């Protein structure tokens, strides 16, 4: 039976700082500062790894390549030099939900760019489910929640039965049929974002498009204490060389035993959270280098250096006694405020995702009954807070679719010393160490 193709408006929302709308340095000349009393704290934790299949491990490596490609693209789009924070993993979840309903070249393109090659819908769904179940359980001292939802315009669309089952089985997604003409729908969607980010992302939409068929949302929320907290009494206002001049910022300070790396472009440290499974990697440009150089380098490599990739490539992290200074800061970002026209959709098109955004060429026939869908809009909002206690970060992504562990060393050991004073712009990531999944990426410029 011939099915007439109609294109309705679908909208997908991801709560992790992204809204998707679719139809559907250390210098050896510096003297290490002494804290009184001097205390070197062992932050080299032990972790219990998440068990991934060989295929899923490849997915992690290649999805991280997408993450670093996104970091490179968004850095170029932020022409004003502002600080930013985003979660490409949140985008992956929204597009993963779309991919479940895609076919043909649209499916192949989504899987290829996101790093799943042509693994197929079931393999992508199982990978997403593994992270939903595994990441929150990795460390009892760390809070990490991933949530998904679909808000369907009951006057425009009805989800296919199998698609709704997939969303529940693999994405733990809730589904709600709403009247998009009712003012209460906007509150329902924004309340969901607020509730699943602990208030960090209080809203993801300013208004509901009555022509949208579905909104798909993903939210990611992270909160953790440092394995060794900074003492507030050691935080002092100090000079920070920002993008547009020298400013004063509160720099936290402690002497710690952590993993440290240095190459010709940047020095880096891994600051563990909780029991050590989660970490913030901070990359500080060497003299004469910039954050752009760092982002370009890791973007070309496609992975974060220092962990013996394939056992052979790059420098490796080694335990150092580090005189560490790190700003206390907050950053909020919104892809709708990028200088790049078209926002998140335009960014993803630069990375090679095109068909799903094209009303004429998109192949997403398995989401809504009797309709083919395409993505008409996407957006992400994200926020991070970093202080003496630890870090809190959240992201929400929305897409609109239209038819168409901490262990002390028992014996004294002499470790090499290093200075790591983050008193100028730097790049950072938050990741889970055993799987290697990068959840958040950002740049702090002081602006």
CATH number reported for the structural domain that contains residue 233 in this entry:
2.30.39.10
Q: Are residues 382 and 294 in the same domain?
A: no
CA–CA distance from 316 to each of 267, 270, 278, 305, 327 (Å)? 11, 12, 18, 7, 25
Residue 401 near residue 24 (C-beta atoms within 8 A):
yes
Q: Are residues 86 and 105 in the same domain?
A: yes
Given this model, what pLDDT does residue 118 score? 79
Q: Are residues 202 and 137 in the same domain?
A: yes
CA–CA dist 144, 131 (Å, integer): 10
Given this model, what pLDDT does residue 42 score? 56
Give the H or E element holding residue 216. strand 214-225
Q: Are residues 127 and 212 in the same domain?
A: yes
Given this model, what pLDDT does residue 164 score? 97
Nearest to 417 by CA among 32, 16, 76, 13: 32
CATH, residue 177: 3.30.497.10
Given this model, what pLDDT does residue 47 score? 54
Q: Are residues 105 and 178 in the same domain?
A: yes
32 within domain boundaries: no
Asked whether the bond before 37 is cis by omega within 30 degrees of 0, the reply is yes
Reading phi first (left if > 0) and then psi (alpha if -120 to 50, else beta), residue 96 is in: alpha
Give the domain range for residue 259.
40-48+226-328+407-444
Q: Are residues 218 and 237 in the same domain?
A: no
1 within domain boundaries: no
Residue 66 near residue 130 (C-beta atoms within 8 A):
no
pLDDT < 50 positions in the chain: 1-38, 45-46, 309-314, 405-410
Given this model, what pLDDT does residue 272 score? 95
Q: Are residues 80 and 203 in the same domain?
A: yes
Given this model, what pLDDT does residue 409 score? 44
Q: Are residues 381 and 412 in the same domain?
A: no
CA–CA dist 202, 16 (Å, integer): 12
Given this model, what pLDDT does residue 257 score? 94
Q: Are residues 284 and 360 in the same domain?
A: no
């Amino acid at each position: 039976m011939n099915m007439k193709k109609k294109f309705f408006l679908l909208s997908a929302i991801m709560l992790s700082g992204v809204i998707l709308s679719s139809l559907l340095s250390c210098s050896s000349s510096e003297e290490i500062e002494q804290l009184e009393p001097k205390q070197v704290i062992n932050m080299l934790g032990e972790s219990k790894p998440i068990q991934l299949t060989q295929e899923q491990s490849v997915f992690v490596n290649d999805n991280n390549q997408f993450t670093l490609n996104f970091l490179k693209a968004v850095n170029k789009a932020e022409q004003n030099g502002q600080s930013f924070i985003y979660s490409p993993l949140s985008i992956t979840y929204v597009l993963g939900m779309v991919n479940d309903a895609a076919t043909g070249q649209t499916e192949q393109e989504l899987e290829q760019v996101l790093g799943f090659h042509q693994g197929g819908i079931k393999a992508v769904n199982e990978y997403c489910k593994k992270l939903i179940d595994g990441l929150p359980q990795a460390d009892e001292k760390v809070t990490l929640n991933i949530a998904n939802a679909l808000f369907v315009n009951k006057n425009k669309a009805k989800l296919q039965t199998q698609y709704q089952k997939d969303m529940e089985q693999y994405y733990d997604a809730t589904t709600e049929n709403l009247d998009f003409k009712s003012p209460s729908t906007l509150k329902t969607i924004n309340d969901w974002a607020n509730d699943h980010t602990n208030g960090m992302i209080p809203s993801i939409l300013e208004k509901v498009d009555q022509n949208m068929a579905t909104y798909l949302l993903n939210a990611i929320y992270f909160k953790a204490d440092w394995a060794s907290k900074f003492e507030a009494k050691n935080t002092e206002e100090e000079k920070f060389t920002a993008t547009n001049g020298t400013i004063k910022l509160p720099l936290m300070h402690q002497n710690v035993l952590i993993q440290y790396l240095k190459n010709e472009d940047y020095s880096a440290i891994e600051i563990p959270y909780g029991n050590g499974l989660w970490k913030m990697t901070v990359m500080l440009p060497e003299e004469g280098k910039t954050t752009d150089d760092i982002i370009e380098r890791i973007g070309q490599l496609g992975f974060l250096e220092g962990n013996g990739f394939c056992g052979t490539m790059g420098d490796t992290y080694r335990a150092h006694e580090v005189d560490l200074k790190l700003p206390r800061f907050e950053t909020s970002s919104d892809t709708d405020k990028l200088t790049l026209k078209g926002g998140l959709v335009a960014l993803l098109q630069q990375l090679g995702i095109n068909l799903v955004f094209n009303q004429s060429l998109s192949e997403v026939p398995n989401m809504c009954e009797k309709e083919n869908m395409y993505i008409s809009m996407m957006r992400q909002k994200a926020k991070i807070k970093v202080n003496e206690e630890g870090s809190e970060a959240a992201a929400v992504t929305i897409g609109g679719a239209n038819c168409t562990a901490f262990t002390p060393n028992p014996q004294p050991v002499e470790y090499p010393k290093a200075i790591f004073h983050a008193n100028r712009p730097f790049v950072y990531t938050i990741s889970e160490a055993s799987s290697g999944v990068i959840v958040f990426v950002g740049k702090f410029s002081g602006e």
